[in-house]
Amino acid sequence: MIDTNAQFDAALKICRDLYVKKLHDYGAAWRIMRASSITDQIFIKANRIRSLEIKKESKVGEGILPEFIGIVNYGIIGLIQLMKGHAETEDMSVEEAIELYDSLVAETKALMIAKNHDYDEAWRSMRVYSYTDLILMKILRTKQIEDNDGATLVSEGIDANYKDMINYSVFAIIKLTEK
């Protein structure tokens, strides 16, 4: 029997390990970024994935998997920025950045578990490129909400969109690494 929780944890371990290594190399330099800039960074990664899916060739040499890992990590960074606001300097220790990462991953995983229950693991029957399209749609929604200064009438907020982007990316990581 397939254990979604274990697969989710394994995929997130890959993402967390890279996040921690980049914190070592760069610190939390991303603290200066506004949330809307994080959204744009996620857009760049998702757009590159779509481009590679369509062209079936990378001239840079990096494939699709690292971009999905990047979306997970930038999604968590985006959630941190929404919670803390952007800073004028790097104002967060590596330890705090890791604690916040772990806390937000736990929240995002809880959302995945609830939705996975309701949707009965429908993600397993989806194609990876559908995750890409859904992420791009979520980015466009997020940009619209950002352009409306965070105001929505009936829709979920920016944080919910980031969490969905993270979860779709984790599903893609699972599918891309289980083959």
Read off the pLDDT of residues 18-43 as tens digits, 9 standing for 90 and up: 999 999 999 999 999 999 999 999 99
pLDDT recorded at residue 151: 82
**Would the pLDDT of 152 be above 90?**
no
pLDDT recorded at residue 84: 95
- Taking residues 144-154, report their average pLDDT: 88
Read off the pLDDT of residues 66-120 as tens digits, 9 standing for 90 and up: 999 999 999 999 999 999 999 998 899 999 999 999 999 999 999 999 998 888 8
- Rounded to whole angstroms, the Cα distance separating 62 from 135 reads 20
Across all residues in the chain, what is the average pLDDT?
Answer: 94
CB 133 within 8 A of CB 29: no
pLDDT recorded at residue 1: 53
CB 160 within 8 A of CB 141: no
- Rounded to whole angstroms, the Cα distance separating 44 from 47 reads 5
- Taking residues 119-146, report their average pLDDT: 94
**Would the pLDDT of 58 be above 90?**
no
Q: State the number of CA atoms in the 13 A half-sphere of 124 facing the CB.
A: 11
- What is the model's pTM? 0.95
Whole-number Cα distances in Å, 155 to 84, 139, 179: 22, 14, 36
